[in-house]
Chains A and B, each alone.
Chain A
Amino acid sequence: MRDPFKYIFIWPAFLVVLMVGLFPLIYSLTVSFMSMRLVPPRPPRFVGLENYVDLLASDRFWDTIGTTLFVVIVSVTIQYVVGFAVALALHAKVPGERLFRVVFLFPMLMAPIAVALVGRMLFHSTVGPVNHFFTFLGFPNLPFLTDADWAIATIIAVEVWQWTPFVILLMLAGLQSLPQDVYEAADLENASAWQKFWGITFPMLLPVSAAVVFIRIIEAFKIMDTVFVLTGGGPGTSTETLTLFAYQEGFKKFNLGYTSALSFLFLLTVILFGIVYLVLIRPQVEKRI
């Protein structure tokens, strides 16, 4: 505190953060209290909380929240369960484990847009190989992308396919960091594989699990490319997520004030969900570290 010279070193970094991080955020917050349209161009007009009130009164907004939450909760749950299971299998040194380890990471290394395009081809109602396969087995042609329920399920399937490798990678790293001797101690106690998993592995990896799930929740909320390419939010708006809703309002209708308000409500939703998650998980994690 007595040496002002040190602040000279902090200010450049602080200014950069201010410019690239905080300024757009503050500008966007300001815009969210205005009516600002690019098409047709109108002078910005302060409207107070009108954009927020309109949004909160809109059924479409609540539908997109519901869709987003559903995709987030279901896809992250499946990613965690499948990812942890595969990590356990890889950690148990199954034959060909090195090859699997690399192959399982491929989907994560691909651009989401490419994954979504592949998904669209695979699940195409007439030319998609998935439907060919089902037809071959005697099932009727399934409306993977044209029926609301099937479309949501397909989006979740593609999300799971792409992001489970992330869970595998981190859980495997967690498993490899666990001490071996506690398992030997459990072996001497004649603990079964399930008892060792439930009594030792799972609780010891809970901090890693909590972090992995948290990262995936935040990322899953931002789902955009997959939905955009697979269904475009349809049929109707049945698979429209918050990001896609914002995109439609901002880049189709150029309704910037409304979109900014939507973005901030989106931010609030993510923060709220994140806080609830952390409040629930923290006591469990703290009990074990």
Chain B
Amino acid sequence: MAGVSLTNISKAYGDVTVIDGLDLSIEDKEFVVLVGPSGCGKTTTLRMIGGLEVVTGGTVMIGDRDVTTLRPGLRNCSMVFQNYALYPHMSVRDNITYGMKVRGVDRAEMDRHVADAARILGLEPYLDRRPKHLSGGQRQRVAIGRAIVRNPDVFLFDEPLSNLDAKLRIEMRTEIKNLHRRLEATMVYVTHDQVEAMTMADRVVVMNQGVIEQAAEPITLYETPANMFVAAFIGAPSMNFLKATVAGGEGGLAVVLSDGTRLPIPAGRHARFGKLDGRPVVFGIRPEHMADGAQGPAVMQAMPTAIEPLGPHTLVVGHASSGEPLTAQVDAHTAAAPDRAMPITCMMEKMHLFDPDTGQAH
């Protein structure tokens, strides 16, 4: 196993530059998830590590080897593809052993590796079947089995769970995480699903338009997002953003919304936000940090347009009195109803303030 280091990586297709000056260091045995919206460059980055895309500039290191110009087969990476990329004319056993056959590994060793992979992934009953006779989850296990037997320096996963149904996705998520624990391997995993990223990763790299917005542990991304993009991308439902101004005055430091609503900032956070007195900001608050009714000093009015009961809690979807969209997560038995104004309490110790021009967190 080995770490991966990308230094000043760029990738251009003709005149279009999709990744420009990307730096990322992945530790040995680390599980890193690259996450971001479609077209953000996460898959391109993964493919550049594997050598399936040639970098336009920069250096790719795996361990202490510079692999920038090496072809994929010499990088000792295994990849699990979104569409499994199994050889349809081969049995599960042949799919798993194909790479070993190519490398001329002897029969006994191949059998041993297949037996190990089949045991770990529960594939023993299916070894002589062909991929078309397997379910999506089983196919994905075969693809993972093929990756395991390579004993690679780095495992690369390219949205491997996207084609599975929701239930299977959750099961496979856990399996891959357990596999990481068991193999103690370096894994780079690409997904557009932030829940997948948060639940699996040691470290999540949030990408947008070819740039790393933030790379941190999942809980850090959630609690202290570096900017509005990360704040909006991590967490479901997404964080609410309202235009506001920070104002001092008789009641102490407060966030004043554009409709004049005053939301006092707790004393414990004055030191951090005091310097913003008088400046315009974007007030960010997650739906789960709001509550039904007037339960404290920081209360704003909301006009619900839809009530979405989810069981453990209910989502109130509507807009603030300033007209900006707003989603609040309230008690499951809320009395809220569409088109009936209601008070919403904000937990100000959890709120975030962002620069309205740069989007960076204060």
Contact = CB atoms under 8 A, between A and B. Distances in A.
Given A184-B52, A199-B98, A189 B85 contact: no
Contact of A189 (B52, B89, B150): B150
B71 A186 contact: no
A206 B89 CA distance: 10
A182 B103 contact: no
B77 A190 contact: no
A220 interface: no
Contact of A185 (B71, B89, B146): B146
Nearest to B100: A189
A288 interface: yes
Interface centre among A188, A189, A287 (most CB of B within 10 A): A188
B85 A182 contact: yes
A187 B102 CA distance: 11
B39 interface: no
A188 B89 contact: no
B197 to A, nearest CB: 23
Interface in B13-53: 50-52
Interface in B222-272: none
Contacts of B102: 186, 189-192, 195, 199
A66 interface: no
Interface of A is mostly: helix
A140 interface: no
Contacts of A288: 88-89
Contacts of A179: 83, 85
A189 B88 contact: no
A289 interface: yes
B187 interface: no
Contacts of B74: 190
A289 B89 contact: yes
Nearest to A285: B89
A287 B89 contact: yes
Given A187-B71, A188-B79, A189-B73, A204 B103 contact: no
B329 interface: no
A287 B78 CA distance: 27
A184 B158 CA distance: 12
Nearest to B78: A188
A38 to B, nearest CB: 56
Nearest to A183: B85
Contact of A181 (B85, B101, B103): B85
Contacts of B101: 199
Nearest to A195: B102
B86 interface: yes
A200 interface: yes
Contacts of B79: 184-185, 188
Interface string B62-106: 000000000111110111010101111100000000110111000
26 contacts: A179-B83, A179-B85, A181-B81, A182-B88, A184-B72, A184-B79, A184-B81, A185-B81, A185-B87, A186-B98, A186-B102, A188-B51, A188-B73, A188-B75, A189-B102, A189-B150, A190-B71, A190-B72, A190-B73, A191-B73, A191-B98, A191-B99, A199-B98, A199-B101, A206-B89, A287-B89
Interface of B: 50-52, 71-75, 77-79, 81, 83, 85-89, 98-99, 101-103, 146, 150
Interface of A: 179, 181-182, 184-192, 195, 199-200, 203-204, 206, 287-289
Given A182-B87, A190-B71, A190-B73, 5 more contacts: A182-B88, A188-B50, A188-B72, A189-B98, A204-B88
